[in-house]
Structures are given as C-alpha cells and as structure tokens.
Amino acid sequence: MEYEPSENDPIRIPIEDVLDLHTVSPKDVIPVVEEYLSEARRLGFQAVRIIHGRGIGVQREAVRKTLARTPFVESFSDAPMEAGGWGATVVTLRTDPATIGPLCSARS
C-alpha cells in the first residue's frame, strides 16, 4: 500500500540561500521563516535572501519582526534592486557560536 500525504504533513523544502515565500500560505509565513533561519544557520549559511514580495508590505513586516527577534541574525535590509529591492530582504547571520541555539530563546 502506498502512502498518500495529507494536508497536515510537513512540506520538505531544500535549504538554499534564497527562500521564496510566494507559495507559502500567509498563516504559515512566520513558522516557515523561523524554521528556515534555524536550518540555514545550522547548515552554516552566513547570508540568505528572503523573497516576500512587494504587495502592501504585510509579509515583509512579518518577516522583519521575526528577524528582529532572532538572536543569530546580525543584520537585515532591503535586497539590491537586481535581487528584488524592497520585495526581498537580505539577512546576515552571526557566525559567533554563542548565538547558536533554538529560535524560541530569541529576544522579544
């Protein structure tokens, strides 16, 4: 008998230096970004780009609030125009081993 995935199964995505949120449901944006950041950090990425789109800025704001409370995020800013401009955020992750830890220990 073959396993058929249900809508409650986690979606596995490859961890690369770019995360495109266009296919992510708005209710899932924050947990997806949190998990992505943790995995990117664990895999040794020093910088990533999160594409949230331009729209009216709701996803951009959710992404940036998550980044601001994540202890291993060193900095973030709009991407260069050729990489999405204000429709994407470039994130620099800390390389200090003392900042490695679960996202739940993030500052508020």
The tens digit of pLDDT for each residue in 29-73 reads 999 999 999 999 999 999 999 999 998 889 999 999 999 999 999
- Count CB-CB contacts under 10 A for residue 97: 8
Strands 88-93 and 73-78: antiparallel
10 Å CB burial of residue 107 (0-12, 13-18, 19+) is: exposed
**Residue 104 pLDDT level (bands cut at 50, 70, 90):** very low
Architecture of domain 18-95: 2-Layer Sandwich (3.30)
Q: Where are the domains of the chain?
A: 18-95
Position with higher pLDDT, 85 vs 12? 85
In angstroms, the CA 94 to CA 36 distance is: 15
- Count CB-CB contacts under 10 A for residue 28: 12
